Structure 1
Amino acid sequence: MMKLLFVVAISFALFISLNDFLNERPKHGDSMLTVHFPDFRLIPTTGASGPESFVFDFSGDGPYTGLSDGRIVKWLANESRWIDFAVTTPTREGCEGPHEHQRTEHVCGRPLGLAFEKSTGDLYIADAYMGLLKVGPEGGLANQILPRELEESLRFTNGVDIDPRTGVVYFTDSSTVYQRRNYIGVMMSGDKTGRLMKYDPNTKQVTTLLTNLAFPNGVLLSQNGDYLLVAETATSRILRYWLNDTWTSSTPKPSQNYEVFADQLPGFPDNIKRSPRGGIWVGLNTKHTKLTKFAMSSAWLGRAALGLPVDWMKVHSVWAKFKGNGMAVRLSEGSGVISEIFEGRNGNKWISISEVEENDGTLWVGSVNTPFAGMYKL
């Protein structure tokens, strides 16, 4: 009887959401620009999908991006094509080709966050299953720097950024319970086992900076290196973690070593990237609707739903394709206020947006769900 009532409640929420898709605008921010893109270039990612994150090397070449079959590919602008650059596992049999890669990604790898180390040209890779890896400027098979088998295992390695002055690597582990192929479980269960971590390649030491995070995702080091911004996906907010002890009257020391930088975002934040025009881009995987608000209203509701004989990953996939509503916002790096919105309207909606990487007057738009990357000229 309880299961029946629960299904009825979910159906009611779904009905409400279908009839009221919350087309409201974010309410904070003095300057607001919505980018409509009827002439938007889609660049297929041959053989796999999900270009989740982008990075350019220090020569300006690229971008590079990780795909659902465990490959990292590089865009050759002069030839308008992708080439294979690196892989995160030596086991490649059954990885590539047309099949449901989500079922094999724990074997083939799933590269998510990417960051180049300035002094060596090495590419650091946060692979959801293989831990923290790096590969040299020539590519090939990446080497594990931090495997999954730490004292506290890495179960869902996600975002990564590097301090160009010291080479120190900052990264997130989204959950110690759920893996990426079950990430909906992180959201629905109220899981708060995520961590913000640090790896020093000089000492080989790993340090946990923050614990008890609800799906920590993208991470970005500030320009002067005094704090980190971390997307906490399940709470729809960005946290600021302070790295130094230098405080001024304009930036008084908080009561703890982190604070909320941006709250009540209009969707679930994914990756964070700096804009050359100032501020930071935050990809919002899914814009909030009444359904998402209902589903996230309490942990017990989500845990009860997880107990039902339902493949919630598949439900989410179908829902995303049907009501694609990814968007991105550009925030002021000083205040966290929204200054620009990027989203598709009418027939140009995105299933989801994991990242916006702005480079040389072009926005590269990533998504974990699409078999293409987006390119939009500003």
Structure 2
Amino acid sequence: MMKLFLVVAICVALFLSLTDFSGKSPKHGESMLTVHFPEFRLIPTTGASGPESFVFDISGEGPYTGLSDGRIVKEGCEGPHEHQRTEDVCGRPLGLAFEKSTGDLYIADAYMGLLKVGREGGLANQMLTRQLDEPLRFTNGLDVDPRTRVVYFTDSSSVYQRRNYIGVMMSGDRTGRLMKYDPNTKQVTTLLSNLAFPNGVVLSQNGEYLLVAETAKCRILRYWLNDTTSASKSRESYEIFSDRLPGFPDNIKRSPRGGFWIGVNTKHTKLTKFAMSNVWLGRAALGLSVDWMKVHSFWASYKGNGMAVRLSEGSGAISEVFEGKNGNRWMSISEVEERDRTLWVGSVNTPFVGMYKI
């Protein structure tokens, strides 16, 4: 029995390493450009880490980002704070989006739920104060419809919190949800449920659909909005937009050059694919007296291999790849925000923001 447990522990530890030594690029699209970054600029986030998401305000100022100590900062305005052991108390902002007409900043906080800060800054206010049928436990990504002011967001799990997100992956948890909040009616609606670690969400340019990253399934879902035509009535409310991604997708952002940037936290290996197809392995390992978050953190810092891919808006195929080469590997990538031919690169693991001029 102990031998079996040892095998399980080793296999899952390797799975959590999420390491890829092949250096091969994905093969989704016929046209593909791999971006190297020898002149990559790193901007430290003093006193905290994990700049996951970026957003620019209505005046074009920014980027603003959320950090591991619960602050939302404009780059260059940080200060020292304690954070890692108190994120469930101080909050952990993940997804960010400005409401264009008012300048209000909406925040998906992993512990505090859906928050809003006025255009002058200050303390964030909780939007969902009434008791939900199923409380938010792991609020993650969001986007705001500039036409209707409706906020679309994800709750990654009804069982696990962010501080134990590895449990979501290892257990095969499917309690995640895609939701919407209407500030006009104050109503919250669940659009999709039974999702495996729903993460980043983005509205299409024309407002016809949402893209949602289903991290544990390594795929992107498309959820159709306002299906009122006769042709659309026969269509399912959602479909797979892109699957068999090269790793675990995180946030999604539109690219001004067309398509969508997908932050890929870490790339696949043969072991990760094996573990994903044998969920019993992860469930058995969760029963061991092992801190799997520490195991994951160790391997991610030692052998991290984050990347980002740009998907075609029409086909969902990979048209561009962003990753480090020749010793410049990125530990993990949570998001790529493209603006004025500059890529702002975020990660939940690093104490700095990456900036790359295209």
1:196 shift after superposition: 0.3
Match of 2:185?
203
Match of 1:239?
221
Offset from partner CA, 1:35-70 (integer Å, 9 cap, x none): 111111000001100000000001110000000000
- Asked if 1:179 corresponds to 2:178, the answer is no
| 3-state SS in 1 of match to 2:314 | coil
Distance 1:347 1:34 in 2: 15
- Residue type of the alignment partner of 2:43: I
Match of 2:37?
37
Match of 2:336?
356
Distance 1:272 1:15 in 2: 27
Q: How many residues align?
A: 357
- Asked if 1:323 corresponds to 2:303, the answer is yes
1:234-313 aligned within 5 A: 234-246=216-228, 255-313=235-293
Match of 2:84?
102
Alpha-carbon RMSD: 2.0
Distance 1:171 1:128 in 2: 11
Distance 1:137 1:298, change over 3 A: same
Distance 1:237 1:146, change over 3 A: same
Match of 1:163?
145
- Residue type of the alignment partner of 1:132: L
| 3-state SS in 2 of match to 1:104 | helix
Distance 1:19 1:371, change over 3 A: closer
Distance 1:306 1:224, change over 3 A: same
Unpaired stretches in structure 1, ≥5 consecutive residues: 76-80, 85-95
Distance 2:19 2:142 in 1: 38
Q: TM-score, normalised by structure 2?
A: 0.95
Distance 1:260 1:148, change over 3 A: farther
Distance 2:208 2:59 in 1: 26
Match of 1:93?
none
Offset from partner CA, 1:249-308 (integer Å, 9 cap, x none): 7xx666521000000000000000000111100000011112322332222111101111
- Residue type of the alignment partner of 1:277: R
| 3-state SS in 1 of match to 2:133 | coil
Offset from partner CA, 1:68-102 (integer Å, 9 cap, x none): 00000002xxxxx2357xxxxxxxxxxx635xx33
Distance 1:18 1:199 in 2: 34
Distance 2:20 2:159 in 1: 34
Offset from partner CA, 1:296-348 (integer Å, 9 cap, x none): 22221111011111111010101111111000000011110000000001211
Match of 1:332?
312
Distance 1:170 1:13, change over 3 A: closer
- Residue type of the alignment partner of 2:248: F
1:26 shift after superposition: 1.1
Match of 2:7?
8
- Asked if 1:190 corresponds to 2:172, the answer is yes
Match of 2:67?
67
| 3-state SS in 2 of match to 1:283 | strand
| 3-state SS in 1 of match to 2:127 | strand
| 3-state SS in 1 of match to 2:223 | strand
1:12 shift after superposition: 6.1
- Asked if 1:370 corresponds to 2:354, the answer is no
| 3-state SS in 2 of match to 1:151 | coil
Q: TM-score, normalised by structure 1?
A: 0.90
Distance 1:40 1:18 in 2: 23
Unpaired stretches in structure 2, ≥5 consecutive residues: none
Distance 1:36 1:276, change over 3 A: same
1:22 shift after superposition: 3.5
Distance 1:51 1:145, change over 3 A: same
1:368 shift after superposition: 0.1
1:69-84 aligned within 5 A: 69-75=69-75, 81-83=76-78
Distance 1:15 1:261, change over 3 A: closer
Distance 2:295 2:129 in 1: 32
Decide whether the 8 Å contact of 1:148 with 1:155 is kept in 2. no
Match of 1:87?
none
Decide whether the 8 Å contact of 2:218 with 2:244 is kept in 1. yes
Decide whether the 8 Å contact of 1:53 with 1:366 is kept in 2. yes
1:18 shift after superposition: 10
| 3-state SS in 1 of match to 2:348 | coil
Decide whether the 8 Å contact of 2:18 with 2:272 is kept in 1. no
- Residue type of the alignment partner of 1:34: T
Offset from partner CA, 1:217-266 (integer Å, 9 cap, x none): 000011111111000000000000011224587xx666521000000000
Decide whether the 8 Å contact of 1:155 with 1:173 is kept in 2. yes
Distance 1:20 1:151 in 2: 41
